[in-house]
Copies of this chain bind each other. A is one copy, B any other.
Amino acid sequence: MDELSEKCTCAECHMRTLFFAHVSKDELQKVCSLKTEVAYGKGDVIVKEGDKIGGFLYLQKGLLKLSRKTSDGRDQILCISKPFDFVSLLSVFSASEFNYSVTAISDSLTCVLDFNMVKDLVKENGSFALDLIQKLSETSDQIILNSLEIKRKHLHGRVAHVLLFFSDDIYKSAVFELPLSRKEIAEYIGMTTENVIRTLSEFRKDGIIGIEGKRITIIDSDRLHSISEHG
């Protein structure tokens, strides 16, 4: 118990309420006894596409990107993941290797649990199994829906979409530091770097946003929402 709370404050871990709501103290202790916390700096690769799936990965703090390499050597970003949101649940249960790479796009803290422990917990605790299924389902729903939304929009709409994602969903502030390079934004929404930059510049010229390097200020949020929605 003491040892547990020394390693990390599992007792106060947000995972407990969200993910382990139906897990007893004893069960939690068992799972947490074999956990490892790892800190990553911005840009660090946490998982590489094709890596053997070892542990069950959970994001405590920070931001990650999930990406894969296309057969012609370019990168595609499938989603940006924040704590609570996606627990790198993708393909953990369906494959023996990761289908995607995971990279920290801001300083991050992960918690790695023993995969077999988690599997045992699923087997033994039906309520936890249901919670896990729900979380997994939500995660994929979100990715699929988001991907369809981006697909249906034109360049301007897509860039607006990304800006609003960071402003509304991640930072909850009109001013924020973009954690992605222009190139990464392009990889995320499926366009070229040049056109991302061009579109951002146009938004600036039209007084919709302010840009100082990576620092973005949303000036006319209504307008940006309208562009995101109707092109």
User: A residues bordering B, Cβ < 8 Å?
Assistant: 68, 70-72, 74, 76, 78, 89-95, 99, 119, 122-124, 126-127, 129-130, 132-134, 136-138, 140-141, 143-145, 147-148, 151-152, 190, 229-230
* Chain B residue nearest in CB terms to A71: B229
Known: A72-B152, A124-B126. 14 other contacts (CB 8 A): A72-B230, A76-B151, A90-B140, A91-B137, A93-B133, A93-B136, A99-B141, A122-B130, A122-B133, A126-B126, A129-B129, A143-B144, A144-B144, A147-B151
The answer to whether residues A141 and B91 also contact, given A133-B136, A151-B190 and a CB cut-off of 8 A, is: yes
Which residues from B are CB-within-8-Å of A119?
A: 130
Q: Chain A interface secondary structure, helix, strand, loop or mixed?
A: helix
A90 touches B126 (CB 8 A): no
How many identical subunits does the complex contain?
2
Contact in complex: B92, A145 (CB < 8 Å): no
